[in-house]
Amino acid sequence: MSDEQKAEGLPQKVEGEVVPAQLDEDFDEISEEDFEDDEEFSDEEDFEDDDDFEEEEFDEDDDYDDNEEVDLQLQARQLADALSNSGLLSQVSAMFGGGGGVIPGEAAFARGRGLQTLGDLEGAAESYLDAIEQNPLHLRAYTALGQILLAMDKPNDAIPFLEKAMELDPYDAGSYLYLGYAYYAKQDYAVCVDYFGKVVKLEPTHHLALNNKGFCQYLIGDLEGAAVSFSKAGDVGSDRSYYNLGMVQLLRGKEKEGWQAYDDAADLDPYGSQIADHFSDLKTAIDRYPKAASLVAEAQRKLIERAESMGIASENDG
């Protein structure tokens, strides 16, 4: 599988950063692994990880078998049905709706969130579809359904729902972010740059979107633009972006700026949590830019030394 093909269907990683993990209703906390993997994403694992986009996985304890998981999901469905039938969800919706009555589709949406939390993506998708059927203007249901479909590696199916969310609220950064992830999965990196750029216009300090934009600029050969995006992402706290900045500056032949960026990366990532993923990005960079192979190899050597001094692995075998 090529580096580009590694873009994970869910928010995945865009190289250099991470992607969204558990989908959260609110857009505030989207984390990444590596586009900065939020994602930030990854050719690579560089889209930054977005703490809000990965489906949650349950640890497989010795006392937790498949039957128990099925039972738990069944209980969740039954509980959601019971709450819905009892009118409790409707009462809560009415209460938060300012006394204006039941919000159409809210009970189905809440049920979907519960199923999603348990990892029942298909059940959650069905509930979000129910919410949309009951309320065609339910913005959060469109966004959540788009996220779920991305998690199920169905970017083509996700795009129409995310575009509808964008249409309902052009100022909702979440729809643009996940559209960026969807087009990353389709390897349409130029479109990704546009959508991540729109997130940045709405949320100028959104380091995940900045890092992911930079990584996609790198993938389409816009090294100068990538350097600008990575620099801004690092300035607002992305622990992956300075690694990416160092790599891009070396590829541009700007050694002084490149090594300074790696020093800044070490300051922002004192435990070296991003080293292993970035090491794989450097391997890919050599294939993309063979003329810069000696500088990239030097960056690899320095990362290996740093990782060994910290007692961590750095993917330097082979």
Kindly report, residue by residue over 34-50, the tens digit of the pLDDT: 344 444 444 444 555 45
Across-strand partners of 42?
A: 45
Q: What is the per-residue pLDDT for 70?
A: 52
Q: Which of 106, 82, 110 is nearest to 94 (CA)?
A: 106
Domain contains 230: yes
The predicted model gives 141-151 an average pLDDT of 96
Distance CA 315, CA 234 (A): 24
Domain contains 47: yes
pTM over 0.95: no
Q: Which of 107, 4, 11, 7 is nearest to 55 (CA)?
A: 11
Q: What is the per-residue pLDDT for 229?
A: 98
Q: What is the per-residue pLDDT for 303?
A: 94
Distance CA 285, CA 179 (A): 26
How do residues 50-108 score in pLDDT, each as one tens digit? Answer: 544 443 333 444 443 555 555 555 555 555 555 455 444 444 444 444 444 568 899 99
Residue recorded with tokens 């969130």: 113
User: How many structural domains comprise the chain?
Assistant: 1
Q: What is the per-residue pLDDT for 45?
A: 46
Residue recorded with tokens 């690694």: 243
287 token code pair: 């294939």
Domain contains 63: no
CATH number at residue 269: 1.25.40.10
The full 3-state SS of 203-268, as one line of letters, equals CCCCHHHHHHHHHHHHHCCCHHHHHHHHHHHHHCCCCCHHHHHHHHHHHCCCHHHHHHHHHHHHHH
Q: What is the per-residue pLDDT for 78?
A: 57
Domain contains 87: no
| Confidence band for 315, pLDDT divided at 50, 70 and 90 | low
Domain contains 81: no
Q: What is the per-residue pLDDT for 95?
A: 41
**pLDDT of 225 over the 60 cut:** yes
Sign of CA dihedral 46, 50, 55, 61: positive
**pLDDT of 155 over the 70 cut:** yes
The predicted model gives 167-189 an average pLDDT of 96
Domain contains 73: no
Host domain of residue 38: 4-56+119-310
**Top-confidence residue, 237 or 165:** 165
Q: How many CB atoms lie within 10 A of CB 100?
A: 8
Q: What is the per-residue pLDDT for 222?
A: 98
Domain contains 169: yes
Where do the H-state alpha helices sit in the chain? 66-86, 88-96, 106-117, 121-134, 139-151, 155-168, 173-185, 189-202, 207-219, 223-235, 241-251, 255-268, 275-288, 293-310
| Percentage of the chain lying above the pLDDT 70 cut | 66
Q: How many CB atoms lie within 10 A of CB 284?
A: 21
Q: What is the per-residue pLDDT for 102?
A: 64
Q: Which of 221, 212, 238, 228 is nearest to 289 (CA)?
A: 221
Task: Compute the mean pLDDT over every residue in the chain, rounded to the nearest whole number.
Answer: 78
**Radius of gyration (Cα) for the chain, nearest Å?**
21
**pLDDT of 272 over the 60 cut:** yes
**Top-confidence residue, 21 or 231:** 231
Q: What is the per-residue pLDDT for 312?
A: 84
Query: Torsion angle, CA of 122/128/132/135, rounded to 10 degrees?
Result: 150
* DSSP for residue 5: G
Tell me whether strands 41-42 and 45-47 are parallel, antiparallel or unpaired.
antiparallel
Q: What is the per-residue pLDDT for 148?
A: 96
Domain contains 304: yes
Q: What is the per-residue pLDDT for 227?
A: 98
